[in-house]
Amino acid sequence: MNKIVGVRFFEVGKIHYFSCFHDVLPGDTVIAETKRGTEAGKVVYAENAEKFKDLILPGEKILRKATKEDMKSLEEKKKEEEKARKICQKKVEEHKLEMKLINVEYMFDRKKVIFYFVSESRVDFRNLVKDLASTFKVRIELRQVGIRDEAKMLGGLAPCGRPLCCGKFLDDFQSVSIKMAKDQGVSLNPTKLSGVCGRLMCCLKYEQDFYHEAISNMPSVGSKVQTPDGQGEVVSCNVISGCVKVLLDGEEKTIQPRNYNVSEITPSK
Confidence of residue 86 (pLDDT cuts 50, 70, 90): very high
Torsion on CA atoms 41, 43, 48, 49, rounded to nearest 10: -30
Compute φ and ψ for 131, nearest 5 degrees: -65, -45
**According to the model, what pLDDT value does residue 53 have?**
63
The enclosing H or E element of 103 equals strand 100-106
- Evaluate if residue 54 carries a pLDDT over 70: no
- Evaluate if residue 51 carries a pLDDT over 80: no
Helix (H, G, I), strand (E, B) or coil at 145: coil
Which residues, in sequence order, are CB contacts of 96 under 8 Å at separation 6+? none
**According to the model, what pLDDT value does residue 184 have?**
87
Which residues, in sequence order, are CB contacts of 25 under 8 Å at separation 6+? 43, 46
Whole-number Å distance between alpha carbons of 210 and 225: 23
CATH class (in words) of the domain with range 72-145: alpha beta
- Evaluate if residue 32 carries a pLDDT over 60: yes
The enclosing H or E element of 183 equals helix 178-183
Which residues, in sequence order, are CB contacts of 121 under 8 Å at separation 6+? 98
Q: Which residue has the higher pLDDT, 81 or 18?
A: 81
Determine the average pLDDT of the residues in 189-197. Answer: 89
Torsion on CA atoms 80, 85, 91, 95, rounded to nearest 10: 150
Per-residue 3-state assignment (H helix, E strand, C coil) for 7-50? EECCCCCCEEEEEECCCCCCCCEEEEEECCEEEEEEEEEEEEHH
> What percent helix, strand, coil does the chain show, rounded to 5?
30, 30, 40
**According to the model, what pLDDT value does residue 171 have?**
81
Compute φ and ψ for 8, nearest 5 degrees: -110, 130
Angle between helices 126-136 and 68-94 (to 10 degrees): 140
pLDDT digits (tens, 9 = 90+) for 99-148: 999 999 999 999 999 999 999 888 899 999 999 999 999 999 999 999 99
**According to the model, what pLDDT value does residue 64 have?**
93
Count how many Cα atoms sit within 13 Å of the Cα of residue 240 in the half-sphere of its side chain.
4
